Amino acid sequence: MGVPLWIWLITGAVIAGFFIFDFYSHVKTPHEPSLKESGTWTAFYVAIALLFGLLVWGLWDHEHALQYYTGYVTEKALSVDNLFVFALIMGAFKIPRKYQQKVLLIGIVLALVFRLVFILLGAAVIAAWSDVFYLFALFLLFTAIKLVIDEIRGAEETDPNDMLIIRWLRKVIHVTPRYHSDKLTHREESGPQKGKLALTPLFIALVAIGLIDIMFAFDSIPAIYGITSEAFLVFTTNAFSLMGLRQMYFLLDGLLDRLVYLSYGLGIILGFIGVKLLLHALHENNLPFINGGENVTVPEVGTVTSLLVIVGVLVITVVASVIKNKRDEAQGGIQISHNHYDWDDEGKRIVRNKKGDLVGYASELPESELPNTK
């Protein structure tokens, strides 16, 4: 499917338009989005993504449309894993919830930019050396195994504050101890740094998210190339999976920890795509030390099969997580709380109710008023 440059440009302009609209309609004025707002816009962006698949079907054919839908579902599932890390960063830097939308949107735009670079590099490498699929396959299989092993061992998440570049920034550039609205920089008005331009913790958090985005691109791009080799579809599946991710963060906030089997599900999906890529690489083999450089006769996994497997694994993952949570809840292991934690501009931990109203400072409230974090 050769995609003309004008289609690339129009698609890119439309996607950019959605992000600009998102910023001016929701993010420019700092606020904590309600559950209704988050749910409505999440559904809107999912609908847009599904409609784009129908457009692909109408303009090209059903095979490329199936590749698009399979890629979209895969990338959307991997994006949920991003949300865990985003939540970790929000907590590590004590970002007030009303400012989190800006951090998320800029982080998502950075993710799309980084992925576009990886997509173009991947397309160039594939065109020059088709056997790169062997490397993609091995990398995905390694990632899948590591994901499952880390989950079994209960490996702790790395504190973003411990990142080398974050520590370096804090050492060479003055960072304000508190937030100043949703600004990334602030000119100090008093103290020894008076008159000097300083970074705010919000800027440091964005650097951390940018670094995480690059790491996630290493998983995401090989995975989607295991489903389709069309750079246009690779880009659009990534773009549409990232659109609405900000709203999904607030929609799923508090529920992410209840998807207890997500890492296993993602590990199975990445492993499946890794095997699919390996079979494809063998089928197109040119390496002289494998079958004398000739193609290897192996079965290839079709797009429909891929879509069914990926959707099936996700459904089983969610259902299994729900069953476990209900079982734990019945045994008293989980209690659903309507309150949630937040931070004020000085980084002090506070508690809000489900309407977003302030309940009080966490250190001053009785345990019965604190959100349950199990």
Residue 241 in tokens: 């999976």
Quick check: 369 and 359 in contact, CB under 8 A?
yes
Q: Strand order of the sheet with strand 349-352?
A: 340-343, 349-352, 358-361
> Residue 335 and residue 147: Cα distance in Å, rounded?
28
| Cβ atoms within 10 Å, residue 128 | 8
> Residue 99 and residue 204: Cα distance in Å, rounded?
14
Residue 233 in tokens: 């579809």
> Residue 206 and residue 201: Cα distance in Å, rounded?
9
- Residues near 3 by Cβ (< 8 Å), separated by ≥ 6? 230, 231, 232
pLDDT at position 211 is 83
Query: Is the pTM of the predicted complex or chain greater than 0.85?
Result: no
Quick check: 317 and 264 in contact, CB under 8 A?
yes
> Residue 193 and residue 283: Cα distance in Å, rounded?
64
pLDDT at position 239 is 94
> Residue 276 and residue 228: Cα distance in Å, rounded?
11
> Residue 98 and residue 32: Cα distance in Å, rounded?
5
pLDDT at position 374 is 45
pLDDT at position 291 is 85
- Residues near 242 by Cβ (< 8 Å), separated by ≥ 6? 75, 79, 108, 111, 112
How far is it between the farthest Cα atoms of the chain? 73
DSSP for 277-305, written as a single string: HHHHHHHT---TTSGGGSPP------HHH
| Cβ atoms within 10 Å, residue 14 | 12
Cβ-count burial 246-276 (b if 16+ within 10 Å, e if not)? bbbbbbbbbeeebbebbbbbbbbbbbbbbbb
DSSP for 146-194, written as a single string: HHHHHHHHTPPPPPGGGSHHHHHHHHHS-B-SS--TT-SEEE--SSTTT
Q: Using alpha carbons only, how large is the chain's radius of gyration in Å?
A: 22
Q: Could you list the mean pLDDT of each consecutive 10-residue stretch along the chain, which spans 374 residues?
A: 86 93 78 82 94 93 94 89 80 83 87 89 85 89 90 72 79 82 80 78 87 82 89 94 88 74 91 91 87 87 90 93 84 58 68 68 67 55
Residue 192 phi/psi, 5-degree rounding, is -65, -20
> Residue 291 and residue 284: Cα distance in Å, rounded?
11
pLDDT in tens, 162-219: 777 788 888 888 888 788 877 888 887 776 767 788 888 888 888 888 888 888 888 7
Quick check: 348 and 361 in contact, CB under 8 A?
yes
Residue 219 in tokens: 């998983």
